[in-house]
Amino acid sequence: MNISEKLGFTHIEWVDDHLVVLDQRKLPLSEEYFHIRTIDGAFYAIQNLVVRGAPLIGITAAYALCLIENHEDRDSFFVTCETLKSARPTAVNLSWAVNRMINAYESHVGDENLERILLDEAAKIHREDSKMCESIGLHGNKIIPDECRILTHCNAGALATGGIGTALGVIYTAFFSGKMIEVWVDETRPVFQGARLTAWELARAGVPHTLISDNASGKLMSENRINLVIVGADRVAKNLDFANKIGTYNLAVLARYHNIPFYCAAPTSTFDLNCPDGGSIEIENRSADEIRNVFGARISLPATPAYNPAFDITPNSLLTGMITENGILTP
């Protein structure tokens, strides 16, 4: 049984004539599927975190471009591509995947099999992502000691990709190769991808894990209870500065202070060589209500001013290594 089979869930699948995704807003309490039949539906799903995680957003957008009714209308195809790209600005996999679909479109526009060709390209992007996750897992496993307590942030697992995940791909590969792995899962406010999604995935895989509040990592590091940190990325700049879920930078600074190796795992589809450094990566700001309220329950006054950047930049100087499908890069 391979690692995907051990995880035992399908979270993105083209079924007959449309895309079916696991609704990540509902996890872990309910496993419901969301049917994407239109471009508007895809845009909604990406922007509202029905699907999230840089690689998965890209795969969703690629399949979504197969839902356009009249593919021969070139202008409308390009407008749709730009609309999809704007759904979430930081995760570069989104524009990367849409650009791949544009290339397939340009090479075959006018072909009577255009729809089939686009669907094949989307499925290929999906398959390739799965393979990249496997390779990241194998390369990353080389830096994991036989016994290791690992902290991860947000969700860079299967739910964020088309395969076994990036940061969690490394953890799964190490665990299923027989290493004694324990994972510290931070909750990842404000949307709780750690508490809701990473803990759910690790429980399914049988990987020992413990949920902590975002504020607890400093205490654990100071007590030598974290041996290594691995996170994912939404965009990696040319100099290996990278954007990831807000709070990643805090962890990188803490890890440096405590001399703990700090790794990022990301496929090359997350690299943006047009960004020379982290300063040129656009950071998505999300609704202030995401932090004023917790899933609809008010925790602050509706008028409390709030600022909600979804990502931060970790400079390459804090990075021990960048684990990619081609090997481990050092700054």
Q: Is the dihedral of CA 216, 292, 308, 49 positive or negative?
A: positive
Residue 247 makes contact with ligand MRU by CB under 6 A: no
Residue 42 makes contact with ligand MRU by CB under 6 A: no
User: Between 130 and 166, whose beta carbon lies closer to ligand MRU?
Assistant: 166
Phi, psi of 162 (to 5 degrees): -95, 5
Max Cα-Cα span within the chain: 64
SS3 126: helix
Amino acid at the residue 61: A
Site pattern 258..277 for ligand MRU (x: CB under 6 A):
--------------------
Q: How many helices (H) and strands (E) does the chain have?
A: 12, 16
- Considering the complex, what minimum distance in angstroms separates the CB of residue 234 from ligand MRU? 5
For the question of residue 272 being annotated catalytic, the response is no
What dihedral do alpha carbons 234, 207, 140, 149 form, nearest 10°? Answer: 100
Binding test (CB under 6 A) with ligand MRU, winner from 3, 50, 53, 315: 53
What pairing do the DSSP bridges indicate for beta strands 297-298 and 262-265?
unpaired
Candidates 9-17, 135-143, 159-167, 318-326; binding stretch for ligand MRU (CB under 6 A): 159-167
Q: Where are the beta strands (DSSP E) in 115-273?
A: 147-152, 180-186, 209-212, 228-231, 235-237, 242-245, 262-265, 271-272
Q: Which of residues 60-99 bind ligand MRU (CB under 6 A)?
A: 91
Residue 232 makes contact with ligand MRU by CB under 6 A: yes
Q: Which of 129, 234, 241, 312 does the annotation list as catalytic? A: 234
Q: How far is CA 301 from CA 62, 159, 251, 292, 305, in A?
A: 40, 33, 29, 7, 9
Residue 166 makes contact with ligand MRU by CB under 6 A: yes
Binding test (CB under 6 A) with ligand MRU, winner from 4, 60, 198, 244: 244
Phi, psi of 30 (to 5 degrees): -145, 135
- Considering the complex, what minimum distance in angstroms separates the CB of residue 119 from ligand MRU? 24
- Considering the complex, what minimum distance in angstroms separates the CB of residue 300 from ligand MRU? 21
User: Between 119 and 278, whose beta carbon lies closer to ligand MRU?
Assistant: 278
**Size of interface with ligand MRU, in residues (CB under 6 A):** 17
Catalytic positions: 234
Where on the chain is the footprint of ligand MRU (CB under 6 A)?
Answer: 52-55, 91, 154, 156, 160-161, 166, 193, 232-234, 244-245, 310
